Amino acid sequence: MRLPGMTREDTRLAIQTIFRLAQLYVPVPFDKVSRENKALLRISIGPKEDFDREGNTLAMAEVLSLRDPDPREIWFSPFVKWSEGPVTETEINPIPVGAHEVAHALGFSHNPNPGLMSPIINRLVTTPSANEMEYFWSAYEEWRPA
Ligand SMILES: [Zn+2]
C-alpha cells in the first residue's frame, strides 16, 4: 500500500508508528500478517466513491468494541496529499489521523473535548488524554493497568 503523496516505504513506517502509538495505551500486541491471513485490523486506501474530492474527510474507521473479535477496517482518503514531513496547508500527516482511526477501531468514540478523539483531528495529538483513557477504562475495566 502507498498513501497518495508518500513512498511505499514512508507509508509502511507511518503505519508502523501508528500501531506503536496504540500499543502505548492498549495492551494488544499488533503483528503484521500476510494478505492471506485474517487480520483483526486492516488499513487501506478507501474507495473513491466514499470520499469527497476536496479531501475534507481524511479517513474512516469501523468502530467496534475491543471485545469484538470481528475484523475491522480503516480507510485513508485517496484524495488527500499525505506527507510524513513538515505539514503544509495542503499536506496531511497520516500519523495523528491514523492514531485517531485506530483508536476508533479499538472501541473509542468521539469526545467533544480536546484530545485524540476530538472530531477535529489535532496534528500534535497521537495518544488519548487522561480523561479519554479514564472513559475507555470505565468501559473496558479488564484493560485498566493494575
Ligand atoms: Zn473520528
Model confidence pLDDT, tens digit, residues 75-84:
999 999 999 8
User: What pTM did the predictor assign?
Assistant: 0.89
Q: What pLDDT does residue 90 have?
A: 80
Q: Tell me the CA–centroid distance for residue 98 and ligand 1, in Å.
A: 10
Q: Tell me the CA–centroid distance for residue 53 and ligand 1, in Å.
A: 19
Residue 10's region, left for phi above 0, alpha for psi from -120 to 50, else beta, is alpha
Q: Tell me the CA–centroid distance for residue 141 and ligand 1, in Å.
A: 23
Q: What pLDDT does residue 15 have?
A: 94
**Crossing angle of the two packed helices 94-105 and 8-23, in degrees rounded to 10:** 50
Q: State the Cα angle at 50 between 67 and 77, rounded to 5°.
A: 80
74 touches 43 (CB < 8 A): yes
Q: Tell me the CA–centroid distance for residue 107 and ligand 1, in Å.
A: 11
What is the amino acid identity at position 108? Answer: F
26 touches 143 (CB < 8 A): yes
Grid cell in block for residue 132: 479519554
Name residue 42's beta-bridge partners.
73
Residues contacting residue 17 through CB under 8 Å, at least 6 positions apart: 95
Q: What pLDDT does residue 50 have?
A: 95
Residues of the chain whose pLDDT is less than 70?
Answer: 86-87
Q: What pLDDT does residue 76 have?
A: 97
User: Helix, strand or coil for residue 59?
Assistant: strand
Q: Give the domains, in start order, of the chain with CATH numbers.
A: 8-143 (3.40.390.10)
Chain position carrying cell 494488544: 28
